[in-house]
Structure formats: structure tokens, C-alpha cells
Amino acid sequence: MVNKFAYGTFPSTRQRRNRMTDWSRRMVAETRLTSHDLILPVFVIDGKNERTPIPSMPGVERQSVDILVETAKHAEKLGIPALALFPYIDASLKTKDAREAYNPDNVVCRAVKAIKDACPNLGVITDVALDPFNADGQDGIVVDGQILNDETTEALVRQALVQAQAGCDVVAPSDMMDGRIGAIRKVLEESSLKNVQIMAYSAKYASAFYGPFRDAIGSASALGKADKKTYQLDPANSDEAMREVAYDLDEGADSVIVKPGLPYLDVLYRVKQEFGVPVFAYQVSGEYAMMRAAGQNGWLDYIGCAIETLSCFKRAGASGVLTYSAIEVAEALEG
């Protein structure tokens, strides 16, 4: 390979010259992180004036719809383009068929309506997956220990439809069933909801970094020791992720997600290079918890690490990042 950097010799070339001052570093910066790159995941619970902390995610709380509306207004003011909604569902509403997922009056649909009423110009993304509603804690319907693909997809289509009818802007299937993007796209088209975007979790890995999220939505105890390896991707693979992206785009996805974030920057980079479509990284709960816990112990500078890692997603090609640090980082960037 030709060494394309073999020009100039010291001292005529001094690489540090461009880095000497703040104005120069800003002038030569190849990417720039702004609040417009940040998508805020939020946890919604039933009730009024209710906030419950999540012990494994210090600084993050579940919020009832009225509080969430205030959070949404704040996020919008900071320039954050969208929220991603995840529900905490009371155990009494969890069933083996996860039917609460497609109840048009469930807490997700009520939150969508309230947020869109208060902030019509803020994007609202809803999660399409059964795990918060499922007595088994899995993203799919379980029969005899098997996660049923096609039956799950039928439920996901109904779930996406009630969310879209409630007024969400983007449905984001995070379940990794085969064929669900095409099925959801079809029903949206047929229901005069054709402008609802699909942000597909295409490259979603079976990761140990999701632990705190499962505490947050209350699926951890239902799931027990079971894993999600029959549908989520093997961390060993990236060709397989490219196939998932290709199918999802072909079936009608408008953008794709790579998840988790930092350990999968190579996958993100490949998606951007090979497909050139909007690709989002999800800096997941475990990544947040690591930075936050180390910050609380005085071992790391939490906000410094957050800004650095988020900038790295941009450098790798992300259009944006779903991150629990979105509000704090947006505030820090404002100065």
C-alpha cells in the first residue's frame, strides 16, 4: 500500500501547529458534536407527579406522563431533536401474549399524545417490542421455550399501529424478529400513516450491557436467567449485521440503529460506509452506568467521558446517538 502520509519532513512539517490554540483546533475539527446529535431515551410509568429512581442508572428516573412532558419541553429547548419512549409496566398487566402492548390506551400511547400536544415539533420515537409487556420478559411470544417469530410479528404490527395512531413520528422495532419491518411498513401504508418513519434496530446484539435497562423497564425478573441469543446478534459477527441492515432497508426502514454503542463502532462505521443511510448508535444503559458509577467514585470525569464517547460516534459516521446523557451533555455543550 502506498503511504499517502509520506509527505513533508520535520521541521517543515509540524503536526502540532494546527493544535496549538483553541481557535485553530475548532477550525480544523472534522466533526462537531451538538445537541442536535442527541436522542434522549426516557422511561414512562403510570401515575401522576411520579418519579422513581433506577438504582443501576443513577441520574435516570422513571417519570409519569405529566413530568415527562416537562422533560420533553426542556429537551426541546436544548435542541435535542427527539425522545425515545420506553414503558415500565405494572406486573399485573404483563401476560404471555403481551396484549397490553397494543392497547390503544396504554401508557406509551398516552405519553405520545401528551408529549405531541405540548411539543408538536419534538420528534417522538416509540419502541416496538414486547418485553415490557411480556410475562416472560422476552421481546417475543414464548411457547414451549421457543420465541415464535411470525406470531410475534403480528403482535408487533398491532403495537406499531396503535403507537402511530396515537401520533408518534417514528416507530423503532427493537425486537429482531425476521420480516417485521416489511410487515409494519405495509400496515402503515394501508392505514394512511405512510409518513411515519421506521427506525430499525437492525444491528442489535445479544449484549450483557443491557442489564440496567432491564431493571428500568422491570423485565429483569421476568427474564430471569434466560437470554435473547436466538434473535439478537452474536457479538462475534459483523457480516451478519450488514445482512440485517440490507433486509431492513429493503423492507422499508428509513434509518437503522447499531446497539450497543462503543464496543460496536466498527459495525457502525461499516454500515455508514456500505449503505450511506442515516445510522444511529445506541449508547446503552450499561455503558451509561459504567461512566456514571466511575464518575461518582471520582475515578473518571463523567461528563468528559460522555462528550468524548459521543464525539467518537460522530467520527465513526453516526447521524446521532441515543444516550441517557443527552440532557446533561446538551447543557454542557451550551456552556
The full DSSP string for 318-332 is -SEEEETTHHHHHHH
Q: Under the criterion CB under 6 A, does residue 228 sit at the interface with ligand PBG?
A: yes
Residue (of 127, 17, 136, 36) closest to 76 by Cα position = 36
- Encoded one letter per residue, x for contact with ligand PBG by CB under 6 A and - for no contact, window 71-110 reads ----------------------------------------
Q: Which stretch binds ligand PBG (CB under 6 A): 2-10, 17-25, 124-132, 299-307?
A: 124-132
| Per-residue binder mask for ligand PBG (CB under 6 A), 264-303, x = binder | --------------------xx------------------
Query: Smallest distance from the beta carbon of 288 to ligand PBG, in angstroms?
Result: 7
Q: Active site includes 314? A: no
Say whether residue 188 binds ligand PBG (CB under 6 A).
no
Closest separation in Å from C-beta 181 to ligand PBG: 15
| Binders in 138-157 for ligand PBG, by CB under 6 A | 139
Strands 170-173 and 123-128: parallel
Q: How far is CA 258 from CA 26, 138, 280, in A?
A: 28, 20, 6
Angle at 56 between CA 44 and CA 69, to 5 degrees: 20
- Cα–Cα distances in Å, from 192 out to 71, 117, 196, 263? 30, 21, 9, 39
228, 259, 272, 314: the catalytic one is 259
Among 100, 131, 215, 244, the residue binding ligand PBG under the rule CB under 6 A is: 131
> C-beta of 223: minimal distance to ligand PBG in Å?
8
User: Of 125-133, 158-166, 192-200, 306-314, which part binds ligand PBG (CB under 6 A)?
Assistant: 125-133
259 has catalytic annotation = yes
- Cα 91 to chain centroid distance, Å, stands at 24
Q: Which residues of 303-320 are buried (b: 16+ CB within 10 A; e: fewer)?
A: eebbbebbbbbbebbbbb
CB of 228 to ligand PBG, least distance (A): 5
Q: Give me 228's grid cell.
A: 435473547
The 8-class DSSP code of residue 197 comes to E
Spell out a b/e string for 127-149, using b for 16 or more CB atoms within 10 Å of the CB, else e: bbbbbbbbebbbbbbbeeeebeb
By rule CB under 6 A, what count of residues binds ligand PBG? Answer: 12
How do beta strands 141-143 and 146-148 pair? antiparallel
Applying CB under 6 A, the span of 45-53, 105-113, 208-216, 243-251 interacting with ligand PBG comes to 208-216
214 binds ligand PBG per the rule CB under 6 A: yes
Q: CB atoms < 10 A from the CB of 10, how many?
A: 7
Nearest to ligand PBG of 127, 251 (CB atom): 127
Range in contact with ligand PBG (rule: CB under 6 A) among 115-123, 160-168, 209-217, 310-318: 209-217
Write out the DSSP string of 233-264. Answer: BPTT-SHHHHHHHHHHHHTT-SEEEEESSGGG
**Which is the catalytic residue, given 94, 204, 228, 314?**
204
Binding site for ligand PBG (CB under 6 A): 127, 129, 131, 139, 174-175, 210, 213-214, 228, 284-285
> Among all residues, which ones are annotated catalytic?
204, 259
